[in-house]
Amino acid sequence: MDCVELTGTAPTRTSAVTTPANDPVILIARSFEAPRALVWRCYTEPKHLVHFWGPKGATNPVSEVDLRVGGAWRQVMRFASGNEYGYTSVYLEISPVDRLVWRDAPAGYRFGDKLPPAEMVTEMTLAEAGRLTSVHITVRFTSLAARDQAVKQGFASTVSEGSDKLDLYLFTLSATAAFQQE
């Protein structure tokens, strides 16, 4: 799947990314000016994921979602250098528009395959208040060392840049919808 590089300005918010000293987690909080159902769809539908997942400049030639408990989410990010980074996750819990929990999985994982112990489990919750949807993400690692290594490799900045792209994408979707209603 190809996607268009979005440019322009959208309502600017900053992702709050924290790493508590004695807990192997990365906590991410961000608000978007969009309905919760739309934000949910952006995180769970490949046609939306390809537009914002990953850091600035990355594209997503592969985005596959089997949105069911035990289903796989596969994503491949391609960088300007041509390098690619692919990963597979498995959904552990799904409460539509409220909560999504997934974990890492080996490449080639298929529904029902036996999984090794998780290295990383991610929980995402969404809450709507007025025109804003708050997204809270907790990424739990097996150890502080594993969490710190992920931070060192740019995990937090990748998430922040992806959130910036999502903010712009949501803004573009809203502007397109408004234009089509005229």
Residues 180, 182: Cα–Cα separation, whole Å: 6
The pLDDT, as a whole number, for residue 25 is 97
Whole-structure pTM value: 0.87
Q: Would you state the structure tokens that stand for residue 37, as one six-digit string?
A: 């159902």
φ, ψ of residue 48 to 5 degrees: the values are: -95, -45
Spans of the chain below 70 pLDDT: 1-13, 177-182
The pLDDT, as a whole number, for residue 156 is 84
Helix axes 155-181, 144-152, angle to 10 degrees: 60
Element (H, E) at 73: strand 72-78
Is residue 44 helix, strand or coil? helix
The pLDDT, as a whole number, for residue 180 is 57
The pLDDT, as a whole number, for residue 157 is 86
Residues 109, 86: Cα–Cα separation, whole Å: 13
The pLDDT, as a whole number, for residue 8 is 40
Number of helices followed by number of strands (H, E) in the chain: 4, 8
Is residue 172 helix, strand or coil? helix
Is residue 181 helix, strand or coil? helix
